Structure 1
Amino acid sequence: MLYIPNNSHDPHFNLAFEEYVLKNLALAEPCLLLWQNEPTVVVGRFQNTQEEINQEFIKQHQVHVVRRITGGGAVYHDLGNLNFTFIKKGRERVLDFHKFTEPVVKALAAMGVSAEYSGRNDLTIKGKKFSGNSQYHCRGKTMHHGTLLLAANLDHVEQALSVSSDKFQSKGVKSVRSRVTNISEHLPSPITMEEFKALLLKHLFQGQAVREYSLTERDLAQINRLRAEKYLTWSWNYGHSPAFNFKKRKRFLCGEIEVCLHIEAGIIKECKFYGDFFSNENLADLEQKIVGLKYTEDVLATIIKRGEIERYFGKVSSEEVLSLFFP
């Protein structure tokens, strides 16, 4: 495994860095990135940004908002959080969070912290979340990334996000703050972020020498171009939201799915899916298949087919998705 250092705290650059390494570096070995963002809300690929953030708090505290290429829910980053990314060749397109989180759990155990994989994509300590994870498959590679709350401002974690009440109900908790924790609260002794980072590297490389890979000036120029042309743009981070006249959302095993429609004279003129589900597919393909259809259950059922729907959303039935199209 190779370690690719990145000392930037700019979230727009860091997400461009990740995507560039995934899609453009032809490395024979798996690679690891460790990186930090200054205060930022990172929104999942399929989420409606406006509905996921506390806009007043974001503006008042000058928090960045940026969308990532992986699915899942919105998360808050600050310099008390460390992000990790594994990028590995592989043909499998099935989400496997356990395989990539297990080395992190073992590394924390070596530091005296008992953590475990929980739910869809979380790591927890004594039932409280300190890490959310997501994955993306592209060009024969898997990218897995996650957060590690070492000493984050947990009040800001709660205040920066606008979390729907049904998510709390599904977790059996009353607030974000009550279900998250910092790793620092469970370590045998206090530790700085740099010390934590060094220990994590040591344990992830299992005591072997940490072999670094340095990006070229050309690589960095391409990353900065991607930052400017994608990750700094309103169209990527917020996106177009038509004036929908029908919306319905529900939480399933795969996560939350929301269907938004604009219907005129019984015809679907606009269709958009939002949610914190995980998918490698281009949802715009499915949305375009629905646009122009009659707004009737039998017509929509010809598009919302078993098997294909699971490919787009994961563990959800065609009947469950179809139910979102009607009151």
Structure 2
Amino acid sequence: MAALPIQRLTPYQRPFTFVGVDYLGPVEVTIGRRAEKRWIVVFTCLVVRAIHLEVAHSLNTQSCLMAIRRFTCRRGSVAEYFSDNGTNFRAASKEIQQLYRDVQKACAEELTDARTQWHFNPPAAPHMGGVWERMVRTVKEVMSALNDGRRLTEEILQTTLCEAEDMINSRPLVFAPQESPLPALTPNTFLRGSSPNEPQEVVVPTNVAHALRDSYKRSQLLADEMWKRWIREYVPSINSRTKWFTETRPLQKGDLVYVVEGDRRKSWMRGVIEKPIMSSDGRVRQAIVRTNSGTYKRPVAKLAVLEIAEGNADPVKGAGTGLRVGDCCGSQPPGL
């Protein structure tokens, strides 16, 4: 398995510095006597696992950009976005880049650092975006629990999304025993500075002399303590490895493969590896495949290698079968 990306293990950052984006829906809302479709844009913080929900009125680029703009105005600018290969996300990325180019030309020195990077997963690789795909499922479950069976209006939908957002951001990130003196660490701990389950205490007015002397340092100390707990309690829980332990021969140019799409093996396309794509840790996890119907970019988890002596090199000793890791393991391609 690949190591966790640095964007998930960077403490002492403002929430929503690194964000995963995905769509959910459509959801029907009633406007007067007609029904219209709405989509929900799910923004997931990759570090503290907080979410932010926005309503998109369509799946075009303009609606996506407006949802991103509303999110940015409320949560602050984002350093890096991560998403799947949706066409609306690709277009939004291009327009944001052009927007920042225009900003740089017009505002020169003031906004020279206004840049946002956008990373796309390869097609047919939902497991590479599991960190936000799991949150999409959680939002669906919470919304189904809040559904009373009546028709939704725009106002009810907005209120339901706020309720769902607050419920999900109040969940504990790690197991917290009842006898623990510390409150559970939740995404709202980082968003609000305190857990929503803590009692609201009356704040005593602060002496001006004391405030000037040590209040800032104390606020920084409390913020550092939250991140220390995040490093101590949360990070070890996400660094476990559950599969893909054994070593396999990496894909090479010229390998004959089946492109695994769907459950029917007889419908799998055959292709040839045109270019293996090396990741930052030296592993091949994506490849360009040439088939009769065109050239595709696919993850190695969706490529099953044909062990044919004339076409493929001999597998590494002890590497096991030539099938790729993922849902192809343990199966044999048709015709062998």
Q: Which has the higher contact order (CA 8 A, sep 6+)?
A: 1
TM above 0.5, one fold? no
TM-score normalised to structure 1 length? 0.30
TM-score normalised according to structure 2 size: 0.30
